[in-house]
């Protein structure tokens, strides 16, 4: 009898210890402050994000792959998180996260999820970097995409410049692409970058060209090199193969709608590009065509260095919407 009581007491203690371990392993709580009127959808979103963030930290702790079993997350979002995880594992840095929810054309979005990136560096670097993530949801509260965000001040400036509902929706779509685009470089997701550009897209890359003259002066000027989509993607694939870590980030963004043809938008960003042995910064421009609303295309992409001969590139030489006949 004494043995049975002792065994029962030890079992209770063991269960208590196991329960406390589970609670400690799942200590991140995500809460939506406002933006979702349906309580069941809101709870589903909060529960899904909380579970995923706890899974991220648990996987990082033991160095394993992410496990999405029984989570409300579709294949696209799973693939995005897994690709990012392969190249730059991450952890959530906060235990109690409360965020506003944004309504989009397809469902909902929550932003500003704190992450600490831990890149896989063959050189043994342990440099971590703070980032913020975005979760997109369908109308039923299922997670349907995940990517890293641009700075909140850039996002707010673009969104607050909208003229009407259609313009707002398009600006949200452009910003979603910009964020997925910068995330795709960290993921080395050549398929995403390839599929978003039109087949006959033109790519202009600004390069520095220095010419030596007889009097010893070495003038530097900008030379634009035109490529088609196939050549651009082929060169980019080589860059991905040669570098263990790649990062693209944006510190400035301007979205302009064409005054005569409102289906065309010009997007200018100040882009920073960093890989294993190379870094540069410059102006990245895209010409968007929303003629087919459900399938917009990027027709032209340009890049120019922001410094030439040690001096900033003049603003009037940066490609903009007015440089193209539409």
Same structural domain, 246 and 136: no
Same structural domain, 196 and 145: no
- Domain C-terminal end among 149, 168, 201: 149
pLDDT value of residue 225: 55
How many domains are contained in the chain? Answer: 2
Q: Which of 82, 74, 32, 77 is nearest to 56 (CA)?
A: 82
**Strand, helix or coil for residue 109:** strand
CA distances to 67, 129, 144, 164 from 78, in Å? 9, 22, 8, 33
Q: Is residue 199 part of a domain?
A: yes
Same structural domain, 124 and 196: no
**Strand, helix or coil for residue 197:** strand
pLDDT value of residue 231: 81
Burial 134-163 (b: 16+ CB within 10 A, else e): bbbbbeebbbbbbbbbbeeebbeebeeebe
Q: Is residue 187 part of a domain?
A: no
Q: Is residue 159 part of a domain?
A: no
CATH number reported for the structural domain that contains residue 40 in this entry? 3.10.450
pLDDT value of residue 202: 54
Taking a C-beta distance cutoff of 8 angstroms, is the pair 60, 117 a contact? no
CA distances to 3, 10, 54, 234 from 17, in Å? 21, 10, 19, 55
Tokens representing 255? 């979205």
pLDDT of the chain, 326 residues: tens digit per residue:
434 444 444 444 443 333 333 333 458 999 999 999 999 999 999 999 999 999 999 999 999 999 998 888 999 999 999 999 988 899 998 999 999 999 998 899 999 999 999 876 554 455 678 999 999 999 999 999 999 999 999 999 999 988 888 999 999 999 999 999 999 988 999 888 887 666 655 555 554 343 444 444 444 444 555 567 788 788 889 988 888 888 888 989 999 999 999 999 999 999 998 888 788 899 999 999 999 988 888 888 888 889 888 889 888 888 888 888 87
Tell me how long the chain is.
Answer: 326
pLDDT value of residue 174: 94
Q: Is residue 158 part of a domain?
A: no
pLDDT value of residue 208: 39
Taking a C-beta distance cutoff of 8 angstroms, is the pair 76, 84 a contact? no
pLDDT value of residue 244: 82
Same structural domain, 210 and 132: no
CATH number reported for the structural domain that contains residue 204 in this entry? 3.10.450.50
Taking a C-beta distance cutoff of 8 angstroms, is the pair 184, 146 a contact? no
Beta bridge partners of 308: 311
Residues 6+ apart with CB under 8 A from 274: 246, 247, 248
For tokens 């970097």, name the residue.
129
Q: Is residue 4 part of a domain?
A: no
Residues 6+ apart with CB under 8 A from 64: none
d(CA 58, CA 24): 10
Range of the domain at 305: 192-326
Same structural domain, 200 and 257: yes
Residues 6+ apart with CB under 8 A from 261: 326
Q: Is residue 186 part of a domain?
A: no
- Domain C-terminal end among 121, 149, 177: 149
Same structural domain, 126 and 208: no
Same structural domain, 202 and 123: no
Pairing of strands 107-117, 96-99: unpaired
d(CA 319, CA 283): 8
d(CA 21, CA 5): 24
Same structural domain, 130 and 258: no
d(CA 253, CA 154): 6
HSE (CB half, 13 Å, CA atoms) of 321? 17
Q: Is residue 23 part of a domain?
A: yes
Q: Is residue 24 part of a domain?
A: yes
Query: DSSP secondary-structure letter at 271?
Result: E
Same structural domain, 119 and 245: no
């Amino acid at each position: 009898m004494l043995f049975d009581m002792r065994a029962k007491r030890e079992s209770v203690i063991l269960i208590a210890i196991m329960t406390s371990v589970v609670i400690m392993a799942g200590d991140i709580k995500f809460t939506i402050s406002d933006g979702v009127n349906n309580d069941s959808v809101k709870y589903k979103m909060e529960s899904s994000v909380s579970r995923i963030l706890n899974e991220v930290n648990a996987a990082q702790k033991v160095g394993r792959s992410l496990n999405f079993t029984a989570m409300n997350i579709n294949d696209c979002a799973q693939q995005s998180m897994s690709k990012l995880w392969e190249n730059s594992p991450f952890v959530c840095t906060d235990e109690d996260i409360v965020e506003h929810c944004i309504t989009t054309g397809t469902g909902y979005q929550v932003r500003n999820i704190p992450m600490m990136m831990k890149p896989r560096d063959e050189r043994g670097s342990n440099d971590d970097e703070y980032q913020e993530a975005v979760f997109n949801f369908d109308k039923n509260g299922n997670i349907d995409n995940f990517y890293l965000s641009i700075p909140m001040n850039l996002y707010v400036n673009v969104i607050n410049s909208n003229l009407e509902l259609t313009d707002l929706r398009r600006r949200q779509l452009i910003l979603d692409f910009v964020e997925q685009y910068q995330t795709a470089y960290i993921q080395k997701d050549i398929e995403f970058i390839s599929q978003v550009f039109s087949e006959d897209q033109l790519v202009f890359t600004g390069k520095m060209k220095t010419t030596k003259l007889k009097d010893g002066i070495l003038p530097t000027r900008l030379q634009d090199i035109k490529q088609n989509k196939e050549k651009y993607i082929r060169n980019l694939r080589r860059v991905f193969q040669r570098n263990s870590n790649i990062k693209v980030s944006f510190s400035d963004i301007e979205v302009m709608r064409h005054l005569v043809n409102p289906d065309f938008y010009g997007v200018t960003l100040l882009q920073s590009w960093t890989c294993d042995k190379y870094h540069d910064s410059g102006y990245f421009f895209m010409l968007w065509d929303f003629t087919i609303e459900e399938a917009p295309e990027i027709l032209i992409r340009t890049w120019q260095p922001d410094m030439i001969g040690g001096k900033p590139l003049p603003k009037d030489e940066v490609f903009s919407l007015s440089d193209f006949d539409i």
